[in-house]
Structures are given as structure tokens and as C-alpha cells.
Structure 1
Amino acid sequence: MDIHGFLATHQLPSSYAEIAQKWFTPLCERLLKHQKGANKPFVVGINGCQGSGKSTLTSFIEATLTSVYNKRVVSLSIDDFYLDQSERSALAIKVHPLLKTRGVPGTHDITLALSTLRQLDNSERTALPRFNKATDNPFPKEQWPVIEQAPDFIILEGWCVGVPAQSSAEVKAPINHLEEVEDPLGIWRSFVNTELVGQYQTLFNKIDYSVMLKAPSFDCVYQWRLEQEHKLAASSKGEGSGIMSDEEVANFVQHYQRITEHALRSLPDKCDTVFRLDSTRTITEQDIKQ
């Protein structure tokens, strides 16, 4: 693989090459070992909080498996299955106003996600949904990339990928200002948790090998998400109304706090590979189950 081209494309420092060689190339070798002999696409799930490096890791795995090992790889983000603004507005009216904001379980089209995986499994011609965060709506369907044959690997990445639901008792007490003020009766968080019990677990159960980029705590999320938003603002060149101010980002991440903290507690034991990050997103150690 042309690592220098990869670094340039993703605007990464040269030090990323050493990180990838140490941690991610061996991960790709493990994935190949597990995929060997599979008679259907091998699904890799990647979990990590916002800004943890999921998208970059996904791109590295795809580039390595494609260019070095001649494998067909399809990359999907759970973000690409967000409902559009009008659908979320309808949910906000019907269930709770907080559902207007994309992100939590209940704001994705999981039926579409399952259908997309099923089509890929069946070697059908498949359009891959893509969501435009700058406009806060999906890209037009005619702009979705189309896959003509079954891939060897499907990568599904996302901040809540693989996360189990909480118990109803755990959902009762608010954990931050947003929940306390905007969801005092717990209607929103109960709805989100109920959604997470259902089709989301059906989707997550399709994962054959799970990877986690584990943040040291939720405190890092605001800073990491802020960096993402500044990059998005720079790349979108004023397109759309989806770019958030720093204050809006601070409010936005509170929507994710409950499930992110639950993931940090519950998910490492369930994952096949866990990369433990420090506050600068540097990997300090890894846990490998298989």
C-alpha cells in the first residue's frame, strides 16, 4: 500500500505510518485469518466515541485489504443510515423534541441498514447510503456508490456499534444537564434505550469480529468532537446549515454521553480487539481475544 499517499489523502502526520505498522497492520492480518474460508462477506464492527479515529482506521483497513491482499471491501458508517430532517422532526413531534437531533438509537433507519447488508450478502447490486452532515440530510440516492458484487469484507463503524442496551433502572436518573432539563421524565432516554434493545442488536449480531477504540473517559469527547467540527467547517466551504458552533458542540455531545459511558464500561469485554487510547488519541496498549 502507498502509505504516503494514504497519509496525504487523510491529512495525517507522518507518525501515523509507524502507528499503523505497529497496531493496525497486525489487525488486518488477524482479520484475514478469521475471514479465510468464509462463504459470505465477513463483517467487522468498529466502535469508538466521536473523534476517536474510527473513520481513519476503517479507511486504513480498507486500503490495506484492497491494495495488499486484493480483497473486495465495503465500508459503512452507522451515521450513513441517519433519518432525514423531516423524519426526525416527525419523531420529535410524536415522541420527544430531542429526537430532532441526529445521533442516538432511534434516529437511524436500521431497516435500511439490515436491507443493505442482506443485499451485499446475496451478491445483489447494492446502493450504499451516504449521509451529508454539512446539510444534515442524506445525499441524493443517485449519488450513492453502487456495489455490483459481494465483498469479502464489510466494515461497519460507529459510535454506538455493538453497544448493548441498559437496564430500565439504569435509565431512570438523568446523568447530565441536557437530560435533567430537557428530559426530566425520562421519555427520550427510555425511547432510545428501547430502540437499542430491538433492531440495533439484530444489526450488531451480524458482526463477525469487533474492534474498539477505547477513550480514557467521556471527558475527551468534547475536545475530539470539536476538532471534527472544525475540520468539517473547513472542508464544506460554507455549504449547508449543519455546521455547529463550539457551544452547540458542547450541548450536542451530551446527547451521546449516556451510551458512550455505557460503552466504555460494557464493551471492552465483548470485543475481539480493544485499542486503549490516551487523551491525545495515542494507543497505549491493546487487548486481543482472538
Structure 2
Amino acid sequence: MSSIDQYFKDWASKVILSSDDAPLIFVSGAQGIGKSTAMNAIANAFDNQIAILGIDDFYLTKAERQALAKDTSPLFETRGPPGTHDLVLLNKKIDELQSTDSASITKIPSFDKITDDRKSEKNDHIFNGKAKAIIVEGWLVGANAEPDSVTESPMNEIENTESALNWRKYQEDQLSGPYAKLWNRSPHFFHLNAPSFETVLNWRIEQEETTRGLHKGELPEEIRDWVRSFILYYERITRRMLDGKKMSGAQLFVDKNRTVIKFEER
């Protein structure tokens, strides 16, 4: 059976080749599922003229998140959930890339997860020329709002903290507002589906090992505990998306080994 990157490359190529202008493509997938490999595959197939925007590079600055944490909930000091992204900047970059020509130079921001802050402009990625497609990828891409879920019982220890209600409500407001407006900019969605939230946790631990240059199983227990706590910030919306509550699109289902088990093309 074909790999994740092959399925995505074949699907995205059809979207790109059938579009008159550079299409905007949204890709979702849990942390560690293999989005980066899939992005490399499509970029290589089109001579690196695919502009790939990782939503993780469009976090609010650390100072902006600290202000949000002060005004709304201390939980917003932790990046990742809806409300912690600079969607104004992301939309601006999409607009710029949609109007590129062969002489264009487009600067794309990057985020440093070690310092937990946006890198200076001198570290921006540079996209040269006319984009054949623009891809926005990230774990929550296409997630639907569920305002009524705010009244549901806490799902984990993070949601059980004192300020979590404001945190959850603000996320739903953001998903139903600026995130929904972003998703509505294009009908092209490709969702990579993990088998379970527990699998996502294991993948996230593997990802941390790779980031730190460690072999599988070498991650210190205190770092494992940090990962287990960190991923709880993502649990509700990750589970929501695994339940199918997201924008309609192509769906690829994989097992815990990232082996493709089913593909549904809308």
C-alpha cells in the first residue's frame, strides 16, 4: 500500500493541476503523524514552488500570549490551542503569496520552540517566485467550533484548573470566528487521521526524542511527564477532530505505525 506522502502528493497534484490559479490547500494531522514528509513530497514534485505555511510558525509572540494569559486565562501562556495564533499575519501572507509573480520575494515568519517566541525578521524563510500552490498545515487545521462543549465536564487535569472555563470559551469563540473565516477561504482540505489520542501521545514522545537527538526509549522520565502534560492542552480538539468534527475534505486513516489503512476522497 502507498505511503502517506504518496497519497497526499497524488491528491494535491490533482488539485494543483486542475486549478487556474495557485490553490489554497489546508492539511490537518496530529503531531508526529508525518505531515512534514508529505509536505516535502509535494514540494519536490513541483520544483519547490509550493509555499508551505506551518501554522506553528504563526503563533502570537511570547509577549502577546502573556498579555492574553493576563486578560483571559493563564493557560494561554502555553502555545498551541485556538487563540494563540496570529491569524491576521497568516491571512496577510496567504494574500501575498496568491499575488506573486516570477520576481516576487515573500518573507515567511518562523517560530523558535526553544525560546517559545517568534524569531526575528532576519530569520524569516524566503519564498522566491510565483507559488503554484499555498499549503497551510497544522494539527488543528479545519477544526469546527462546538460552543456548547464549554458546559461539558472537564476532560483532563488542565481543564479542571480554576481558569480553564474562560480558556475553553475563548477557544470556541476563536474557532467560530477568525479560524472559521480562514477555513472558509478554500474548499481544499486533506485530513490525516490518527487511530487514537493515545497514539498521538506516543508519537509526540517520539517527536521529542528526535528533536533532542535521542534514540527511541531514551527520553528522560521527567521530559515524558512534561509531554504528557503538554498534550492535554490539545486533547479536546484533537479528539473532536478524530470524531470527524472538522471541515469536509479528503481523509487518510493510518494505524499506530503510520501505515495507511483507508483513504476517502471527497
Same fold (TM over 0.5): yes
User: Contact between 2:30 and 2:200, CA under 8 Å: does it hold in 1?
Assistant: yes
C-alpha separation in 1, matches of 2:18 and 2:2? 29
Secondary structure of 2:46's partner?
A: helix
Q: CA deviation at 1:150?
A: 2.7
Is 1:109 the counterpart of 2:86? The answer is: yes
Matches within 5 A, 1:58-207: 58-66=39-47, 72-123=49-100, 125-166=105-146, 168-173=147-152, 174-183=154-163, 186-207=165-186
Number of residue pairs matched?
Answer: 255
Deviation at 1:35, TM superposition (A): 2.4
Q: Kindly indicate whether structure 1 or structure 2 has the higher relative contact order, using CA contacts under 8 Å at least 6 residues apart.
A: 2
User: Does the CA-based 8 Å contact 2:8-2:38 persist in structure 1?
Assistant: no
Q: Counterpart in 1 of 2:217?
A: none
Root mean square deviation, CA, Å = 2.1
Deviation, 1:182, is 4.4
Unaligned runs of 5+ in 1: 1-17, 236-243
Partner-residue secondary structure (3-state), 1:160 = coil
Structure 1 letter corresponding to 2:57: D
Amino acid at match of 1:146: I
Name the SS of the counterpart of 1:40 in structure 2: coil
Match of 1:266 among 226, 238, 244: 244
Which residue does the alignment assign to 1:222?
A: 201
Structure 1 consecutive aligned stretches of length 4 or more whose deviation exceeds 4 Å:
none
Q: In structure 2, do the counterparts of structure 1 residues 122 and 98 end up closer, same or farther at CA, with 3 Å as the change threshold? A: same
**Counterpart secondary structure, 1:228:** helix
Q: Distance in 2 between matches of 1:97 and 1:29?
A: 43
Q: 1:83 to 1:94 in 2, by over 3 A?
A: same
Deviation at 1:19, TM superposition (A): 4.0
Map of 1:48 onto structure 2: 29
Give how far 1:107 is off. Answer: 0.5
2:226 to 225, 248, 252: 248
Any idea what the Cα deviations from partners look like across 1:225-253, whole Å, max 9, x if unmatched? 11111212229xxxxxxxx8211111110
Structure (1/2) with the larger helix percentage: 1
Q: Output one character per residue of 1:151-195: Cα deviation in whole Å (capped at 9) or x when no partner.
A: 0111111000011111x22222211121013445x1110111111
In 1, Cα distance between equivalents of 2:245 and 2:75: 26
CA 1:40–1:267: 2 relative to 1, 3 Å: farther
Give, in whole Å, the separation in 1 of the partners of 2:19 and 2:2: 29
Per-residue displacement from partner, 1:70-109 (whole Å, max 9, x unpaired)? x721111100001121111111111100000000011110
Q: Distance in 1 between matches of 2:98 and 2:249?
A: 23
- Residue matched to 2:257: 280
Per the TM alignment, residue 62 of structure 1 is displaced from its structure 2 partner at its CA by: 1.3
Task: Give, in whole Å, the separation in 2 of the partners of 1:232 and 1:26.
Answer: 26
- Identical pairs, percent: 31
TM-score normalised to structure 1 length: 0.81
What TM-score, normalized by structure 2, do the two folds share? 0.88
Q: Which amino acid aligns with 2:54?
A: S
Using the TM superposition, give the Cα deviation of residue 149 of structure 1 relative to its aligned residue in structure 2, in angstroms.
2.8
